[in-house]
Amino acid sequence: MRSLAYFIGTFVAALMLGIGSAWYMIERGSPLTTTKVGPWSGWISEGNPNADPYTKAHVARSGRLPLTSTVARYFVARTDSAGRTLTSACEYSVEGSPLNARWWSLAVYDEYGGLIENPSARYSFNSEEALRHSDGTFRINLSSKARPENWLPSGTADQHFVLLLRIYSPRETDASGIGLIPGDRLPKIERKECE
């Protein structure tokens, strides 16, 4: 009787551990498949036909058609640089350095990957639009209220949001031809006031 309970317990625990770990490694990635730099996380072999099973599963489940990582890199941030979840209840300052690529764009989405309604119909800033300082650096102000410089509205409802930095045609590549974006080039996300 006791061994049956152990057996069932073992099976249930194995089921939860097996499926849970698979789900997490596919949705969020792991050191095997993703590079993490501060708040940013990017899949190393995204879109690549020779990618590992985790990356392939991630792409197939995403409902997206990402460019292969030799042509473009995508980095997602769900938290600020201090690790706190991004929320429209707070204001953020996104400070970036020049990126060595043909084109890049920083866009804001809700948790499900949908664009967030706002009166100025502004959903992103790209390399051609963002106002930059004389040294090539830029600052994007994420806020629910209008802000000077590059204002990216983060939605009025108290909700979590994500940032996606898409970088097309990076000019540097690593040994396997994957677009190389040095970690210190990815923008810092600093939290300002909160409501």
Partner 1 sequence: MRVRIPGLYIVLGLVLAGLIHIVAVLTLPMLAPKSAHARLATLGPANAMIELPAAAPGRQIMPLMAPDVRYAFCRFDLTNGPVRLKATVADELWLIALYTPEGENFYSVAGADMKRAEIDLVIAAADQTVEEAGVDAPESSDDVIVVNSPVTEGIALIRAPLAGPSRATGAERALRSTSCGPYTKSG
Kindly list the residues in this chain that would bind partner 1 in the complex (CB under 8 A): 6-7, 9-11, 13-15, 17-19, 21-23, 25-26, 47-49, 51, 53-54, 56-57, 59-68, 71-72, 102-103, 105, 107, 109, 112-117, 121, 123-124, 126, 128-129, 164, 166, 168-169
Smallest separation (angstroms) from partner 1 to the CB of 191: 23
H, E, C per residue of 118-158: CCCCCCEEECCCCCECCCCCEEEEEECCCCCCEEEECCCCC
DSSP reduced 3-state for 106: strand
Sheet holding 161-170, edge to edge: 34-37, 40-43, 72-77, 161-170, 101-110, 124-126
Smallest separation (angstroms) from partner 1 to the CB of 11: 7
CB nearer to partner 1: pick between 169 and 191? 169
Q: Amino acid identity, residue 67?
A: L
Smallest separation (angstroms) from partner 1 to the CB of 117: 4
Smallest separation (angstroms) from partner 1 to the CB of 93: 21
Only one residue has tokens 């204002």, namely: 151
CB nearer to partner 1: pick between 21 and 85? 21
How many Å from the N-terminal Cα to the C-terminal Cα in the chain? 57
Smallest separation (angstroms) from partner 1 to the CB of 151: 14
CB nearer to partner 1: pick between 30 and 137? 30
CB nearer to partner 1: pick between 162 and 191? 162
Backbone angles phi, psi at 130, to 5 degrees: -60, 130
CB nearer to partner 1: pick between 66 and 95? 66
**Paired residues of 170 in beta bridges:** 101
